[in-house]
Every structure is written in structure tokens, then in C-alpha cells.
Structure 1
Amino acid sequence: MLYPTPQLNSQDETVLAEVDSMRERLRHQVQSVPAKWAGGLRKFLTADAVAASNSIEGFKVSTVDVEDLMAGEQDVDVSDEDREETLAYQRMMTYLQTLHDAPDFRFSKGQLNALHWILQGHRHTSRKPAGQWRSGPVYVTDARDPSIAAYTAPDAEQLPALADELVAWLNTPDDTHALVRAAMAHLHLVSIHPWCDGNGRMSRSLQTLLIAREGVLAPEFSSIEAWLGRPGNTWEYYQVLARRGAHYRPDQDVSEWISFNLLAYHQQAQTVHARFQRSGRVWEQSSEFAAQTGLDDRIVSALHDVAMAGRVRRSRYGESEGLSVQQAQRDLKVLAQRDVLQPVGRTRARYYIAGERFPQNVLETARTPTSLVDPYRP
């Protein structure tokens, strides 16, 4: 038995309508800007989601480091374990993004296990196998006392039937809004907890996959993983799940879970919209600076990266602008000579941060914080 999808109350309906409106507006905005700029925003949002979802599980890698790892950088100052976890999750997220328009797509138990292997294959052991259901019990322990089980998942003997029911539900469309179905898919999978490890990230990824299949907007713009990764939100995420009880009880009302997810969708949409606006203003101001100082317009992307992410690397700048290694090095060297950028590190590990003559108005725009509205509070 799975949790029944609850009916939305009037406030939920209003919040969901606002989310739809923001997503539609963002879809048009993304289509109206250069592909290079939109692509850069998508890469950032993907990196932010990977960093946040992994941070929930205790793997701490900054978004800018995740971006560098995704770009193939080898000299990133992270532990080997964090590197493996980041790249594994990034590979799975990239695959999920490609499934948005896959023809004849259907969910299956084998597919879920294959996704789990992408995520956890590097940790596969006989005791904690990747890509197959667990054969024994699994617990979510209390963060304050690991000797206490905050949640005990269903017995392993129940998994085949529960997985069959979940897959059948995933493959049976209904008139439920796609974002609500995605939230329910997350709850179903995390409650069943079918694997020895990786259940949280798999459940959040399944939610993202359903958003991708909806097809309205690229999933990076609607995934709530970055929102969930903020410390206060992570705590509330665990609390909302904990209030479902210490054991699997699907015969209960989960309206609170839906409202929590609608809040997450709403505030994530606000965050993405604000970053889109801020990024655009940074680009405009950087272009004005390049024109005023006689610099080639292509260096705007380097200034943009430094302002928005804190640094730029030669490889990422060169890839963004389609430059040779020598040309990218030359551009960044000119900016460093003018004190617009400041080099940090040597050879392959080198990156550039803002120098003394970096345009201050650009930095001020990039660092202006965003205020978020709670749609459930008047």
C-alpha cells in the first residue's frame, strides 16, 4: 500500500498556481537570452543541486567546486571521497536530464536499481550492494542519538510487492499536478527505503526525474534539492518526514508533506528568478566595463564568473568562449596585468579572483542578497 495523494486545500491551490506562473515566466525568459548565458545558468543550478543534495548526506563540497569537477578539473581541493560522491551524483543527474523527452519511456524496478548503481556503484560491497534491493533491515537513526531509530523501513520481504506497486503508480498517469506527483514519488520511495544506502538522494532524484518528464521547464530550474540543502530547510525536511511516524504507515494523511514541497517549489522558483535577474544585471555591467576600458567583449564571461561564482579558471573560460588554451591564457593574463583579476595558485591548479580594479558595481550587484517570501504567511 502507498500513501494516498491528498486533496489540496485552497491555500495549496493558490501557492501551486503561483509556482506555475513563475515557472512559465521563467521559461519565456530563458528562451529570450543567449544560449551561452542560459547554459551557464543551467550548469550552475545543476551544480548547486548536486552540492546541496550531497551535503544533506554529509558530503560537503561547495557549488563552485562542484562546477569545476563537472567541467573535468582535476586540481580541485576536495577529498577523494567527496570527489567520488560528487561525480557519481552528477552523472546520475545528467542522465536524468536526458530522459525528459526519451520516447517510449517507462519506469521499472530494473531502471530504479540501475540509477542506484550509477549513484552508489563506487561503494558497492557484499554487505551494502549497489543496484539491488536490500536483503535485511535498514534504519534512519536519530541525529542526536544514533542508538535510537527515528525510522524503521518496511521489512525486506515486503520490498518486491511495494516496488511493484510504486512502479505501477509511476506508470499510471492521472489528473494530479505533475509537481504534486513528483513530491509524492519522493515520499513513496524514501518511505519504502529499498536500498542499504543512498535512499535520500535516490528519492530526491526521482522527484527531479518526474519534473523532467513533465517537460514544461528544464528540471534544473524546478528541482528543490538546492532548497532542501539549506541548513534550516534540511532540518525541517527531516522533521516533516519524522512526523510520518517511526514505521511505515501509508494509511495516513500526508497533506503536510505536500504543503512543505509546495513551499519549496515556490521559494526555489523565487531564488532562480532572482539569480536570473542578478546574473543579467552583472552581465550588462560587465559589458559596460569592457567597453569603457577597451577590453574585448568576450572577457565579459570571465568577469561574470568571478562576480557570480567567486572565481574563474582558464579551462572553463576557454570552453565558454570557444578559445584555444593560448588565447584563454592570454586574455586572463591581460586582466591580471591590469589588476582586474588576481591569480591564485600555479600551473593547472591556478584560478582567478577579483583584483583591485575589478568593477565594484558588478561585485555589489552580484552580492546583493535576495529576500524570499513565504507564500503560506500573509
Structure 2
Amino acid sequence: MLYETPRLEQVDHEVLEQVNAMRDQLRFAVQQVPMKWTLDLRKALTASAIAASNTIEGYRVDAKDVADLMDGEREVEASEENKAETLAYQQAMTYIQSLHDVADFRYNKELLNGLHWMLQGHHHPLKTAGQWRKTPIRITAPGDELATDYEGPDQELVPGLMGELVDWLNEGDLDQHVLIRAAMAHLNLVKIHPWSDGNGRMSRSLQTLLIARGGVLAPEFSSIEEWLGMPGNTWEYYKVLREVGGPLWSPRRDTLPWIKFNLLAYHQQAQRVQRRVDRSNDCWMQLTDAAESNGITERQVTALHEVAMTGRVRRSRYEKAEALNTQQATRDMQALTRAGLLTPVGQTKGRYYVAGPAFPEEVLATARRPHSITDPYAA
């Protein structure tokens, strides 16, 4: 028996309708902007999701460095351990994103174990990857290694429970909204805790996979991993998992608080992404308007836009974004530096560029434009 999908209250349906409306609006907005800009935004959102999800597990790499690692840059400010965790998560996330439109797709145990290997294979055999745990599992309370927060089901039960979960993923609650099913998949996987390590990231990844398969919007725009990685939200995440899951595997418990928590996450992350889309779009338009008067080529706008939105750009990332050779990209960086639009930081190896003294101030002001995030349950 799995944790069951609860009956939603009227307010939950209203929040879900608001999320649907924001997702529709966001899809329309994304369709109206240049494909090149959309790809940059999707990559930035993926980097933020990876950085946040790894942060929950104690691996800290700034989202800008994650984006650089995703592009093959290795000279970033992160330990080798954190780099390895980031690249492993990127591999799994890239595969998940690629599955969004597979026609004959089916969930199965092999898929889940394969994704787990992508995430945890670099720890094998010290921490077994890609196969169910063969020992009991005990989750300790944050800050107290001796206090038990949760004990997962006996290892003998794991194969059967995972078989039940796979069946549910393919056939269960298909009349429910995809975001609700995705949340329930997350809850059941993290409470079964089928692997010796990496269960949290796998559960969040599975939630993203269900969202991707829903097909309404690219998963980068719908994943709540970035939201979950925010310090206050991470605490609430652990709190609601304790409240709903109980101290032991107990699938008869009420799961509505978990759904409410996820609906809040979906809603507030949609707000955050929409604000980012708006700022990015406005920055792009302002830079395009300023290009002619400042002698900026159309492709150089890409480099300046990234500086506005993330604070820096690397030559290697610009080179890939514009499909240039190294010589062309270097010339562009040098031209923007001579014009005072960029300022280099660091030596040739690991160098990046930040806004120079001539960078349009109005663009930077737009990129830093504050916004407010509302709580739909408090309205």
C-alpha cells in the first residue's frame, strides 16, 4: 500500500487553477521571445534547480558555477566533490528533460535504478548505486545524529513497494492533475527510501520527470527544486515530510498537508519564474535598442544579456551560445572590453567578464528590479 492522493479542498482547487493560469501565461510569453534567449533562460533555470537540490543535501555550488560546469568549464569556485555531484545531477536532469516527448514511454524499475546510477554512480561501490538497499534505513533529525526522524520500510518490502509505485506511475490516479501526481510520486519514493543514498534528489527528480511528461510546459519552468532549496523553504520541506510521513512507513496517514505545501511551491515558483522572464525580456529589449548606438552587434547582445541577468559571462559560454570559434568569441570579448561594456576578472584560465563602466545602467536596474511573491493561501 502507498500513501494515497487526498481529496483536495476548494481552496486547493482555486490555487491549482491559478497555477494553471500562470503556466499558460508563461508558455505564451516564452513562445513570443527569440529561441536563443529561451534556450539561455532554460539553461539558467536548470542550473538553479541543480544548485538548489544539491544544496538541500549539503553540496554547495553557486548557480552561475553550475551553468559553467554544464558548459564544460572546470575552473569554477567549487571543490572536486561538489563538482562531481553537480555534473552527476546535470546528467540525470538532462536525461529527464529528454524524456518529455518519448512516444512509447513507460515507467519501470530499470529506469529508476538507471537514473539513480546517474546521480550516485560515482560513489559506487562504497555507497551502492542503481540497486535497492539491502539494509534498514534510518533518517536522523537535522543537527542531531542520534535522534531518529524516520525509519523506512524493511528492506525486504522495498522490491514489492517499488513495483507498486511503478504500477501507480503508469496507471494510478490518471484523472488527477499532473502536478498532484508528481507531488505524490515524490512523497512515496522518498518515504520508501529504496536506495542507500540519494533518495531526496531522486524523489525531486521523479517529480520533475512527471511534470516533464505532462507536456504543458518545459520542466525547467515548472520544477520546484529551486524553490525547495531556499533556506526557509527547505526547513518547511523537511517539516511537512515529517508531519505527513510519520516516524515509520505509515501510508494511511493524511497526505493533504503535503499537497498544500506543493501547491504553494508550484504557485510561488511560477511567480518567481514569471518575474524572471519579464526582467530578462525587458533587459533583452533594452540591450537591443542600445546596440546600434553603442556599436554592439546582434550576437554580442547575448553576452551582455547574461551579464545583466547573472552578473557575469565567460568567453567559453558565449562561444557555445553563439556557435562561434574561440578566435571569434575572443575578439568579441575584447571589443566589448575596449568599449567599456565589460571588465575582465581573473587570469586567462578561469577568466570571466562583469559589467564595465559603460554598461547601460538602465539595463542593470531592470535586471535588479525587485518583486513581491504572494502566498495564495493567505489571500
Q: TM-score range by the shorter chain?
A: over 0.9
Per-residue deviation, residues 200-224 of structure 1 (Å, max 9, x unmatched)? 0000000000001111111111000
What is the correspondence of 1:242-261 to structure 2 with a 5 Å cutoff? Answer: 242-244=242-244, 245-261=246-262
Give the gaps of 5 or more residues in structure 2.
none
Partner of 1:102: 102
Asked whether the 8 Å contact 2:33–2:281 carries over to 1, the reply is: no
Q: Please state how far the C-alpha of 1:316 moved relative to its aligned partner.
A: 1.1
Partner of 1:163: 162
SS in 2 for 1:274: helix
Per-residue deviation, residues 300-330 of structure 1 (Å, max 9, x unmatched)? 1111111101111111112222222111111
Q: Which moved more, 1:24-33 or 1:268-277?
A: 24-33
Q: Does 2:144 correspond to 1:145?
A: yes
Per-residue deviation, residues 331-378 of structure 1 (Å, max 9, x unmatched)? 111111222211011223111011122111111111122210100002
SS in 1 for 2:343: strand
Partner of 2:71: 71
What is the correspondence of 1:1-378 to structure 2 with a 5 Å cutoff? Answer: 1-126=1-126, 128-173=127-172, 174-244=174-244, 245-378=246-379
1:195 aligned partner, one-letter code: W
Q: Please state how far the C-alpha of 1:78 moved relative to its aligned partner.
A: 1.2
SS in 2 for 1:76: coil
What is the rounded CA distance, in whole Å, between the counterparts of 1:196 and 1:233 in structure 2? Answer: 25
What is the rounded CA distance, in whole Å, between the counterparts of 1:370 and 1:85 in structure 2? Answer: 32
What is the rounded CA distance, in whole Å, between the counterparts of 1:237 and 1:214 in structure 2? Answer: 23
SS in 2 for 1:292: coil
1:12 aligned partner, one-letter code: D
Per-residue deviation, residues 231-284 of structure 1 (Å, max 9, x unmatched)? 000000000001121111100111000000000000111111110000011111
What is the rounded CA distance, in whole Å, between the counterparts of 2:325 and 2:111 in structure 1? Answer: 40
SS in 2 for 1:136: coil
2:136 aligned partner, one-letter code: P
1:65 aligned partner, one-letter code: D
Q: Please state how far the C-alpha of 1:75 moved relative to its aligned partner.
A: 1.4
User: Once superposed, what is the RMSD of the aligned Cα atoms?
Assistant: 1.0
SS in 2 for 1:101: coil
SS in 1 for 2:146: strand
Per-residue deviation, residues 127-172 of structure 1 (Å, max 9, x unmatched)? x210000101111111121111111111101111111111111110
Q: Please state how far the C-alpha of 1:294 moved relative to its aligned partner.
A: 2.2
Q: Please state how far the C-alpha of 1:67 moved relative to its aligned partner.
A: 0.3
User: Which 4+ runs in 1 deviate beyond 6 A?
Assistant: none
TM score, norm. by length of structure 2: 0.98
What is the rounded CA distance, in whole Å, between the counterparts of 1:27 and 1:79 in structure 2? Answer: 37
